[in-house]
Amino acid sequence: MTAPERSRLARERLSRELRRLRTEAKMTGTATARATGMSQSKLSKIENGMLLPSVTDVERLVAELAATRETRIELVELARSLHAEAETRRVVLHRGAHRHQQTISRVEARAATSRFFQVNLVPSLLQSEAYLRIVLGTMPQAEQEAAVAALRIRRSRMDDLAKQFVFVLSESALRWRMGSAELMAEQVEHLAAIQRRPNVRLGVVPWSADANVVALHGFHIYDERVVTVSVLTGNATITDPLDVREYLALFGRLERLAVRGEELQALLKRIAEDHRRLG
């Protein structure tokens, strides 16, 4: 049985038991709602499994409905565990580049291994100064400066050789024109220099790869705890262990498709030359 199925059954059991207690206590929904300080519509939603009651709601209900001590403990703990699971599965959306950089900086500070995959953009930790300014170009100047300052703190952690940074890019991320031909060529050459760091592992999935893998978007993974995904209106943070494992498995498949070493150096050189030739 999957975790979502277990969660659904647990919620159904909680609502069913609360409804049973009210029926056995011979209390109407209106009277029970009034006695526990909630609306009748809220109680109805709780009893029909449409609303997860708070721990406080359950405590008040089991007390008012004269549940046995064992039932009180059981249902309160069930509510508490359901809320803990719901919090774990929550996807948090952060708006604003500066706020996102601060959030990710805190996550990266604790991570021993950070993994990054991008489809059509160079990851911020690998961006040259000129490329970064193009990416941030639509933001107000004050927000740009705040984002750059936060990013500098993040980049300084790459000097810590105890931390590992693994990057996988699609070839299209390096060919997607974010500025002039010279800027793009310099960005590609910047990658070639960074990937020589002992704690940095860079791979590029070439267009010629028989991928057979669907990667709908870029994502970052920090250890085996947190995934972040950039969307149009902000940045989502995912912490559910099952979701994180799925992203880790996808990253592993993508990493196996990537070229490294001399093959990577040849590919980077060819891409830089193409940018300059196309002008």
Structure-block tokens of residue 52: 């997860």
pLDDT for residue 94: 56
pLDDT of residue 240: 81
Tens of pLDDT, residues 31-75: 999 999 999 999 999 999 888 899 999 999 999 999 999 999 999
Mean pLDDT of 226-235: 80
Torsion of CA 151, 153, 158, 164, to 10 degrees: -80
Local structure of residue 66 (DSSP, 8 states): T
pLDDT by residue (tens digit) across 121-174? Answer: 999 999 998 999 898 887 788 888 887 888 888 889 999 999 999 999 999 999
- Round to whole Å and give the CA distance between 20 and 28: 12
Residue 206 — very low, low, confident or very high, per pLDDT cuts 50/70/90?
very high
Residue 9 clears pLDDT 60, i.e. is over it: yes
What confidence score (pLDDT) does residue 144 get?
A: 82
Q: How would you classify residue 212: left for phi > 0, otherwise alpha for psi between -120 and 50, otherwise beta?
A: left
- Res 63: pLDDT: 95
Q: In the predicted model, is pLDDT for residue 116 greater than 90?
A: yes
Q: Are strands 200-205 and 164-170 parallel, antiparallel or unpaired?
A: parallel
Find out whether 248 and 240 touch, Cβ atoms under 8 Å: no
Using CB atoms within 10 Å of the CB of residue 268, give its burial: 0 to 12 exposed, 13 to 18 middle, 19+ buried: buried
| pLDDT bracket for residue 238 (50, 70, 90) | confident
Amino acid, res. 52: L
Name 50's Cβ contacts closer than 8 Å, sequence gap at least 6. Answer: none
